[in-house]
Amino acid sequence: MIKIMNIILWDRAFSLEVRYDCYEGENIIPEQIKIVEDFESHLEWLQKARKQVEIYCKRDVEADDKNYKKDNIFSYIKPEYLFVKHDEVHPRVALMCKYRYDLEHGLAIVFSADGDVSVGIQDIIL
């Protein structure tokens, strides 16, 4: 079971904690382990996700007159950890980020086992 994942995310190195979604007394299920392994072996999913993140954030970023690094994704998001959903049918892993334009809800970049990517507030995975 992976506890820390070292990844290169859009040309920057990160060591991210891997947090498994389990209630007290629940064990990590094989699907959670598999989706983390799939994610780790398909880091090209992150490149695909970048464009979707930029589209999702575009309106907020363009409206911010104080953000002079509009093309630098890290001027408005900060990766915090990976969250692995406890779901046997639809396993997913999410890159959970702080988001400059929604400090309360943050930003989640959700990866499904088939490589689909969703971007939204963290509530889409929690």
The pLDDT value recorded for residue 33 is 94
Instruction: Show Cβ contacts of residue 37 under 8 Å, excluding neighbours closer than 6 positions.
Output: none
Residue 119 has pLDDT above 90, yes or no: yes
Q: Which residues contact 112 (CB under 8 A, 6 or more apart)?
A: 90, 91, 92, 118
Q: Is residue 23 predicted with pLDDT exceeding 70?
A: yes
pLDDT in tens, 38-78: 998 888 888 889 999 999 999 999 899 888 888 889 989 99
Residue in 39, 56, 67, 37 with CA at minimum distance from that of residue 97: 56
Q: In the prediction, which pLDDT does 94 show? A: 97
Q: What is the pLDDT of residue 1?
A: 64
Give residues with Cβ within 8 angstroms of 81, minimum separation 6.
Answer: 16, 17, 18, 19, 96
For 69-112, how does the pLDDT look when each residue is reduced to its tens digit (9 = 90+)?
888 899 899 999 999 999 999 999 999 999 999 999 999 999 99
pLDDT at 2 over 80: no
> Which residues contact residue 107 at a Cβ distance below 8 angstroms, ignoring those fewer than 6 apart?
53, 56, 57, 77, 96, 97, 98, 99, 119, 120, 121, 122
